[in-house]
Structure 1
């Protein structure tokens, strides 16, 4: 068991993607997904509440939508203008806020404070970057009928949990690399190929673990990168589709998981 690490600053990604309107926001009649109501609170408010309950005092929200920015300020958060994509927004956040920086997303509707504290405590102290992922069996125990895309490696089938720890300034080197990993999540052989023929051969033979792949990617860019396994499969649930929203609402109702109300901070002088 690691010694608990000091609480980092948190960055919540709540930018707007180019292209057609977000399906979740459109289905709820709001401008942005982070404004969708769950259990009487905007989704962004739930994320902020979970981070605060986990002991994180300084929280910034990366956004472009004026309503999301206004809500973030009411919640006592700093506001950063989102860049051209998630990785660019994280890079800007690390530059402005410094390390250690915990990164999550505004659609992490079920985020629980214990997931945050467990992740921070389980992350090896020597890591520059730690990534929370959940094993398929853990996810399916929590949500038996869920259908997801998994990274398939020798140590299991994994899905991301939208929680990242940039523990040192050296983590900046990992931001673009992790963007490519996310893009290749349906083609894990391409992740292995980035590590050279030896790693690709190990993957082809079913011997390459995801932990080794992440560690190898880190070494190639001169940092230490670590996989942290989620204890609760629900940590892998975010809200990308209207069905995800329905699932999140059902889970909240079943588990009575609504966080305590947030005290809104007036922006009036």
Structure 2
């Protein structure tokens, strides 16, 4: 099955601190180990057997096709889409169109440590569910990078951080996107995020009497989709580049891999 990758390369309103730190207008163009993050992630996606096409989504996607990223304009498997008010709403608008047919994998340009193995694992892990959400367990990440700081969602048995990999397998996933559009402003506030799906689920999450899989099953059922977590065994899958310390770590990892430009 050929998947569409929607590569989110826009940014929140206002000045992005990481972009400003590196003298860039757009965060996606910040170089890591000698290459813009957008270029790295796009090349990784094109190397994945399951990915047939890429849609770069941003406020001004063509403005990103400069410097290291100029090659994207000439790649026949890459198209663009303009994002509007919210990420989830913008994705829902294009999902299922001729440019972005189902199934769809969402990922972000600030994930320069992404590898084809991570992408293929996220796609395989969704199984027959409508939505699969790539996650990395705290034990997995901190065993490799004990000083790394993430936003952790704490459930029975383990705490989890997102991997910026969302497998949207069926058209029913649009319902999840529309639900997410109403709550994405709380994405960094674990309790408030879960509260949107009801006080009982929030209470069980707060007391850690429900697993991540159980919580996603209940949240998905509330909006009419089957949603599953996809635990990933790659510590680096949980590391995106939001701040200078992430950038230092990502450069060190890519240098160790021998992937400097």
Residue aligning to 1:199: 201
TM-score (norm 1): 0.85
The structure 2 residue matched to 1:17, chosen from 7, 12, 26, is: 12
The number of aligned residues is 252
Farther-moved stretch of structure 1 (32-41 vs 211-220) = 32-41
Residue aligning to 1:267: none
Task: Give the gaps of 5 or more residues in structure 1.
Answer: 1-5, 262-269
Residue aligning to 1:234: 236
Provide the aligned C-alpha RMSD in A.
Answer: 2.1
Pairs within 5 Å for 1:122-137: 122-125=125-128, 127-137=129-139
Contact 2:154-2:205 at 8 Å conserved across structures: no
TM-fit CA distance, 1:191: 4.5
- Residues in 2 aligned to 1:134 and 1:221: alpha-carbon distance in whole angstroms: 24
Task: Give the gaps of 5 or more residues in structure 2.
Answer: none
Distance 1:255 1:171, change over 3 A: same
2:95 aligns to what SS in structure 1?
Answer: helix
Distance 1:253 1:88, change over 3 A: same
Contact 1:181-1:191 at 8 Å conserved across structures: yes
- Residues in 2 aligned to 1:174 and 1:235: alpha-carbon distance in whole angstroms: 22
- Residues in 2 aligned to 1:17 and 1:185: alpha-carbon distance in whole angstroms: 13
Residue aligning to 2:153: 151
1:61 aligns to what SS in structure 2?
Answer: strand
Residue aligning to 2:144: 142
Pairs within 5 Å for 1:19-58: 19=14, 21-55=15-49, 56-58=51-53
Residue aligning to 1:264: none
The structure 2 residue matched to 1:107, chosen from 107, 110, 114, is: 110
Distance 1:173 1:42, change over 3 A: same
TM-score (norm 2): 0.88
